[in-house]
Amino acid sequence: MFKKLKLKIKELAKTAVFYAEETLGSNKGKQKKEMAIKYVTDRLPVPAFLKPLISILLSSFIDEAIELAVEYMEEI
């Protein structure tokens, strides 16, 4: 389960970073990161009652996925 979930998080992170950038623009790094994390956690493919638990268990992974997505976006 976690393997598929981690793949989905990586996919969502790219979209989340793009969405946050488009919505908030530049010079708002902290808000963009918070928006991206919320975007990912809201769209996790798990039942709603499990989302808070999964978000806590995978918080560092979500954070890393978003950081990698930011680096990816900066390269293109």
Q: Which two tokens stand for residue 27?
A: 């010079």
Q: What's the first-to-final CA gap in the chain, in angstroms?
A: 31
Q: Closest by alpha carbon to 45, among 19, 9, 3? A: 9
Cβ pair 61, 5 in contact under 8 A: no
Number of structural domains found in the chain = 1
pLDDT in tens, the chain (76 residues): 678 999 999 999 999 999 999 999 888 989 999 999 999 999 999 999 999 998 899 999 999 999 999 998 888 7
- The residue segments making up the domain with residue 71 are 2-75
